[in-house]
């Protein structure tokens, strides 16, 4: 049963549907070629996985991310302690919050760390191995 008169339409437009395109696949011989966005610089990585060329194994990969305690986590704990929220361990709440932790990007191919996204500075720093000769140039 409709409350609106027969000749009037609803003030709200009908819901629209959106279509999404999947990555385009082309074939070269028998192997499919999947086109994807170009790799980003390590310094441009944020809290989500990104497409980069791993500096260790030189493969084009989508990074794996894992949260790690960092400056933002410890400053959050300090702020809660200074605010007087130290009873029953509530000041340790930032240790359980992913949004307070730094993000480590690693390569799924060689398992090496690629970059560390700092929440407090909102910047990604490339991770270099100690035995990397470029580190000491």
Q: Is residue 71 part of a domain?
A: yes
The residues facing 67 across adjacent strands are: 103
Q: Is residue 40 part of a domain?
A: yes
Query: Could you give the residue ranges of the DSSP H alpha helices within 17-82?
Result: 71-82
Domain count, the chain: 1
Give the residue with greater pLDDT, 21 vs 108.
108
* pLDDT tens digits along 72-130: 999 999 999 999 888 788 889 999 999 999 999 999 999 999 999 999 999 999 987 67
> Would you say residue 18 has pLDDT above 50?
no
pLDDT of residue 65: 96
Place of tokens 């400056």: 71
Mean pLDDT of 38-52: 89
Q: What is the pTM of this model?
A: 0.67
Q: Is residue 118 part of a domain?
A: yes
- Domain range spanning residue 121? 27-129
């Amino acid at each position: 049963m409709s409350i609106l008169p027969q000749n009037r339409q609803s003030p709200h437009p009908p819901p629209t549907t959106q279509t999404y395109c999947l990555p385009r696949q082309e074939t070269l011989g028998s192997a499919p070629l999947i086109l994807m966005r170009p790799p980003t610089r390590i310094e441009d990585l944020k809290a989500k996985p990104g497409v980069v060329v791993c500096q260790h194994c030189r493969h084009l990969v989508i990074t794996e991310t894992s949260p790690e305690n960092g400056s933002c986590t410890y400053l959050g704990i300090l702020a809660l302690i200074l605010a007087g929220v130290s009873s029953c361990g509530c000041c340790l709440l930032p240790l359980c919050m992913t949004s307070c932790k730094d993000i480590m990007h690693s390569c799924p191919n060689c398992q090496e760390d690629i970059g560390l996204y700092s929440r407090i500075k909102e910047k990604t720093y490339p991770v270099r191995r100690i035995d990397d000769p470029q580190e000491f140039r």
